[in-house]
């Protein structure tokens, strides 16, 4: 079976990826504040966002920005059940806990989320504190977010556009998709 994207490789060809895709469901609790925010096996989202970037951290940061939702307040994020039980604010609560000095291992145990993902969130919060402009841009932070973190203006940057393919540019893609990155 020939791969329609490259036009040259076959189905048995092992893909080589140089990008990461993150999807986050979008829950309508901003429109239905009285709804049950706990998540289970029944579908509750009304849509999703998808972000493509060079790293997981950058794709996650971009996807969170794409939700176009105001994050919960700091006082709301202090509630322990937001980490302990699946809900629509859990990602924000985990980031808040890491910013406050929480340990990745304990958050992984409490939440049941694999330590790899918690460590990626810890990388994002570490970059928020210590990253220079270049590191923050590579991690998916917008110029506006970087200015808010640093407290001063940054020179505006222009994104680069990369091609999504399954061959990491080893072969030319016949039907390319593009994503922006810095």
**pLDDT, tens digit, for every residue of 84-111?**
999 989 999 999 999 999 999 999 999 9
Domain ranges of the chain: 20-181
Model confidence at 40, pLDDT cuts 50, 70, 90, reads confident
pLDDT at 41: 80
Q: What's the pTM?
A: 0.83
Class of domain 20-181: mainly alpha
Give me the numbers of helices (H) and strands (E) for the chain, helices first please.
8, 4
């Amino acid at each position: 079976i020939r791969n329609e994207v490259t036009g040259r490789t076959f189905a048995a060809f092992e893909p080589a990826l140089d990008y990461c895709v993150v999807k986050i469901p979008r829950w309508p609790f901003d429109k239905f504040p009285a709804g049950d925010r706990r998540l289970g096996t029944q579908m509750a989202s009304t849509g999703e966002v998808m972000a493509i970037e060079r790293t997981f951290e950058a794709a996650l940061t971009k996807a969170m920005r794409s939700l176009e939702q105001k994050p919960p307040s700091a006082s709301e994020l202090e509630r322990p059940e937001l980490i302990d039980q699946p809900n629509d604010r859990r990602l924000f609560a985990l980031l808040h806990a890491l910013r406050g000095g929480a340990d990745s291992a304990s958050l992984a145990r409490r939440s049941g989320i694999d330590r790899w993902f918690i460590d990626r969130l810890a990388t994002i919060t570490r970059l928020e504190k210590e990253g220079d402009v270049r590191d923050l841009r590579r991690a998916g932070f917008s110029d506006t977010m970087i200015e808010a973190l640093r407290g001063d203006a940054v020179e505006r940057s222009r994104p680069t556009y990369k091609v999504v393919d399954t061959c990491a540019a080893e072969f030319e893609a016949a039907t390319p998709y593009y994503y922006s990155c810095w």
